[in-house]
Amino acid sequence: MPEIAYVNGQFLPLDRAVIHVEDRGFQFADSVYEVIRTYGGRPFAMDEHLARLFRSLEAIELKPAFTADAMKAIVVEGIQRAGFAESVAYLQVTRGRASRHRGFPADTNPTVVLTVRELVGPATGAEEAGISVITLPDNRWGRCDIKSVALLPNVLAYAAARKAGAHDAIFVEADGSVTEATAGNVFIFTAGTLRTPPKGPKILPGVTREKILQAARESGIACREEAITKAELLDAEEIFISSTTNETLPVVSVDGKRIGSAKPGEVTKQVREAFLRAFVRKK
């Protein structure tokens, strides 16, 4: 079964899935998205992802011509049609096709695109070994809480990290506050407490971030949503990055400085276990 796509009402092989060059997602990044994964073949946290999609749509004043339930049905059907053991579904909604002008077009239907690819685990053994990161000034726009496709800053920061021999970058604001990695929320463990920056305009309200906080609290780990300084990041006992596809990715080096024992930490493993136990394995 090949990778599959859905474009504006029609399922088709991924290879044949196209959009018009004057789609506003292509010309203006006027578009938001979600990435949904499966566990045991079933989509995970679908309601949370779709709720966030609708929040993103509202934030960019894009009135969808569909309901969350209709979107859910498309994602489920796409995953079934693809038939992989585990899938990653990528769902993108744009303001549609219009003659190029930055103003909202008057009579345009949103474009809805879904792609379904096979989910493959990290090939590099990153989960076992942990990754190294560099810090970079956060030069992204002011509304990173909107899951938009305006991702060029993330692309360039990730490339800079790879060029520096690291696996990813963590953004730091001018005042020294840690925000996010290039595709995930940042957690540190210090002095008996798990911390992650509080929600705000520079923080995507991660679905996995929320589940991890809940699972960690339920398993008795003290958690705080609280600003983290770069100095605290460098001095952390443990660090991990949360995301849909990587769950909890341990960070063992920041800007060349070893974190903890330079191996994935015990609390990170506990948190991961708690997350899997609470939300994945029980199903």
Q: Contacting a second copy (CB under 8 A), which of 4, 23, 197, 207? A: 23
Residue 229 is a binding residue for a second copy (CB under 8 A):
no
Q: Contacting a second copy (CB under 8 A), which of 37, 49, 52, 140? A: 140
Residue 19 is a binding residue for a second copy (CB under 8 A):
yes
- Tell me how crowded residue 282 is: count the other CB atoms within 10 A of its CB: 7
List C-alpha distances in Å: 83 to 39, 72, 89, 110, 118: 13, 17, 12, 27, 9
Q: Contacting a second copy (CB under 8 A), which of 77, 108, 145, 153? A: 153
Q: Write the Ramachandran bin of 104: left for phi over 0, alpha for psi from -120 to 50, otherwise beta.
A: beta
Residue 103 is a binding residue for a second copy (CB under 8 A):
yes
Q: List all residues 6 or more positions away from 180 whose beta carbon is below 8 Å from its beta carbon.
A: 144, 170, 171, 186, 197, 202, 203, 204
| Among the residue ranges 45-53, 141-149, 227-235, 257-265, the one whose residues contact a second copy (CB under 8 A) | 141-149
Q: Are 46 and 205 spatial neighbours (Cβ–Cβ below 8 Å)?
A: no
DSSP 190-254: ETTEEEEPPSBTTB---HHHHHHHHHHHHTT-EEEE---BHHHHHH-SEEEEEETTTEEEEEEEE
Residue 142 is a binding residue for a second copy (CB under 8 A):
yes
Closer Cβ to a second copy, 160 or 276, answer by number: 160
Q: Contacting a second copy (CB under 8 A), which of 1, 70, 155, 262? A: 155
- For a second copy, the binding residues in 166-225 under the rule CB under 8 A are 182-183
In the stretch 54-73, what mask flags binding to a second copy with x, by CB under 8 A? Answer: ------xx------------
Cα distance from N-terminal residue to C-terminal residue, the chain:
26
Closest contact distance (angstroms) between CB of 45 and a second copy is 19
Question: 166 is written with which tokens?
Answer: 């690291």
Closer Cβ to a second copy, 177 or 260, answer by number: 177
Q: Is 269 one of the catalytic residues?
A: no
Cβ-count burial 201-219 (b if 16+ within 10 Å, e if not): ebbbebbbbbbbbebbeee
Q: Which of 63, 147, 199, 257 is catalytic?
A: 147
Site size with a second copy, rule: CB under 8 A: 51
Which residues belong to the active site? 147
What residues line the site for a second copy (CB under 8 A)?
Answer: 5, 7, 14, 17-31, 33, 60-61, 90, 92, 99-100, 102-104, 113, 115, 117, 137, 139-143, 148-156, 158-159, 162, 182-183
